[in-house]
Structure 1
């Protein structure tokens, strides 16, 4: 299988409210809009908010967003009156993570990868 692009599809209870959250509160850039949805840039992927759902968020799903500076990001979101569910802390796997949620209760994990973490180092052996 050759994957050229990917996106997460989100079916919110109130599409306008969720679009406003992702666009205005989180400040995600709009990739494209169409009659029943909006697609946002997520770094190398996309988030499509379209249609309508009814059951709310599943505790089995989270949106993982890597940010450059977690502390600055949390300060920015607090300035927009967004509650922080869990403040930033270093996880056992070495990533700095904080949690927020969208209007339907979808957990959003904000992640900063420390400079010394294997995800940021080239672990290939030198020639």
Structure 2
């Protein structure tokens, strides 16, 4: 068994400064740490229980199947803030058949991000006997 002590998702954006502006300013993610210098420096953001590292640069956008899932306490308030801040909103918030309230945005390279609210009565929150 592999004993994993920590993890993070790595993004190699086509335009690192634009991507840092999106995650740091538009989304408002807090910085965990930074390393290196110049436009290819690394910035690691807190993602709730995980981390997102933006470092290096790529000639092509990340894999088309890559998506992020970010849980927030109020997805409608997040929608207002993100839309007002210039984020590309792919789909405004709506309650899904599985009970979550989801909206979809995209980062500057087109990485799809699900911003989700877990209602108080949803099974992800409510676990009898625990």
Same fold (TM over 0.5): yes
The aligned counterpart of 1:38 is 43
Unaligned residue ranges in structure 1 (runs of 5+): none
2:58 aligned to which of 46, 53, 60: 53
2:77 aligned with 1:76: no
The aligned counterpart of 2:17 is 16
Structure 2: distance between partners of 1:123 and 1:55: 46
Structure 1: distance between partners of 2:57 and 2:82: 26
Unaligned residue ranges in structure 2 (runs of 5+): none
2:62 aligned with 1:63: no
TM-score, structure 1 as length reference: 0.92
Structure 1: distance between partners of 2:99 and 2:58: 35
TM-score, structure 2 as length reference: 0.90
Count of equivalent residues: 125
